[in-house]
Amino acid sequence: MDFSFSAEEEKFKQEVQELFISEEELSKAAKKEWNTGLGFGPNCWKILQKIGERGWLCPTWPKEYGGLGLSYMYRYIVVEQMHHFVDIYTTVGAGMAGPIILSHGTDEQKNKYLPPIARGEVEFVLGYTEPQAGSDLAALSIKAEDKGDYYLINGSKLFNTRAHYSQYHWLGARTAVIKPKYKGISLFIVDLKNTPGITISPIWSVGGTRTNEIFYDNVKIPKDSLVGEANRGFYYILEALDYERISTVAGLERDFKELVEYVKEKRKAGDPIIRQKLGGLAAEIESARLFALKVAWMLDNGRVPNYEAAMLKMKVAETEQNLVNTAMQIFGPYGQVQKGCRWAQFDGQFERFYRDSLENLITRGTSEIMRNIIAQRGLGMPRR
């Protein structure tokens, strides 16, 4: 059993770190932009393209599609460093839609979408949730009718977070009314910038993140927008969700380190309750990090981490909650003071992080759903 990176992987990690350090101003600007909750602005696109032009955004993909043909551990290293330096740890294109296009898309789709994703030039938005279909995704009802030489789409989506700056919608839509419900769902790629009949309307989350509703009103999309086979979309969505739940704890480790330094500087380290809390958190963060590495290792070894990805997603989101709760207890009432006020601790960073961490318990599947997945797929228990 070897818990360290190989010599080549260590060298690669240093190269990636050097990029972010040599682009320090840009990295800081991208991180600031991302933390406004508005998503990608010019600095985020610029840093993504710097990563992409080296083939690092999708290092596991074949060279012909903009990758480097490397193992999954190299992607883990890039994602970890991105998370540490700019807080963005993945894109939907590189981390979720791209892998499905690679395994189920046509050659035309691979040639059209994969190279610009790998270069960091385009982004996708996940189009799964609807007002009546969140945890129960199979209940989605937006309709895609096969009209012979095109599909006609009518309906709406909720909480489609990256829609206001993404080029493409990764759309789950109903193509058949059938039982079981999940067997009537297909997956489409829709050009959000050039398709008439689509309206994107903002929603603001408790964490201050912009997310969106999307309305389709008699929208015509070409037949070649379909990904894989018709009515098999639910399987592709589940596969993409397994990729989506993979994450790192680099941002958590960074914030935790800052909190520990703060406690030492402010002479609070003598408080036995604070010491207990921080000691426990150190162990939690380390176990989440080992989990993240295990999932990366499984992918490298051709194993699909479906319930393990659920364990990781749940563990990271709940550890994040413990970290921000602890920070709030340490700061006392000052913890609630927002950025911009002179009494704000860490310039209000943990105040926003606190609100944001509530979202992370919900997005990409709630903690309750993660527990269900672990019980069903991991422990072999029945659905009901």
> Taking CB under 6 A as the rule, which mask of x and - marks residues 313-352 in contact with ligand FAD?
----------------------------------------
Distance of CA 1 to CAs 191, 294, 307, 312, Å?
46, 12, 22, 20
State which of positions 130-149 bind ligand FAD (CB under 6 A): 134-135
> Which amino acid is located at 177 in the chain?
V
> Taking CB under 6 A as the rule, which mask of x and - marks residues 148-167 in contact with ligand FAD?
-----------xxx------
- How far apart, in whole angstroms, are the C-alpha atoms of residue 222 and residue 230? 14
Is residue 372 close enough to count as binding ligand FAD by CB under 6 A?
Answer: yes
Q: Which of 167, 211, 319, 345 binds ligand FAD (CB under 6 A)?
A: 211
Q: Which of 81, 90, 129, 345 binds ligand FAD (CB under 6 A)?
A: 129
Q: Which of 23, 123, 242, 359 binds ligand FAD (CB under 6 A)?
A: 359
Q: Tokens representing 133?
A: 């279909």
Minimum distance between the CB of residue 306 and ligand FAD, rounded to whole angstroms?
Answer: 16
Contacts with 365 (C-beta within 8 Å, 6 or more apart), sequence order: 135, 241, 245, 310, 313, 373
Minimum distance between the CB of residue 19 and ligand FAD, rounded to whole angstroms?
Answer: 28
Stretch that binds ligand FAD, among 60-68, 75-83, 123-131, 263-271 (CB under 6 A): 123-131
Is residue 285 close enough to count as binding ligand FAD by CB under 6 A?
Answer: no
Host H or E run for residue 88: none
- Angle CA 215–221–224, to nearest 5: 140
**DSSP per position, 225-263:** GEESSTT-HHHHHHHHHHHHT----HHHHHHHHHHHHHH
- How far apart, in whole angstroms, are the C-alpha atoms of residue 114 and residue 135? 29
CB 196 within 8 A of CB 219: yes
Task: Tell me the longest C-alpha to C-alpha distance in the chain.
Answer: 73
Stretch that binds ligand FAD, among 78-86, 204-212, 290-298, 316-324 (CB under 6 A): 204-212
3-state secondary structure of 172: strand
Stretch that binds ligand FAD, among 108-116, 189-197, 312-320, 358-366 (CB under 6 A): 358-366
Which chain residues interact with ligand FAD by CB under 6 A? 125-129, 134-135, 159-161, 205, 209, 211, 359, 362-363, 365-366, 368-369, 372
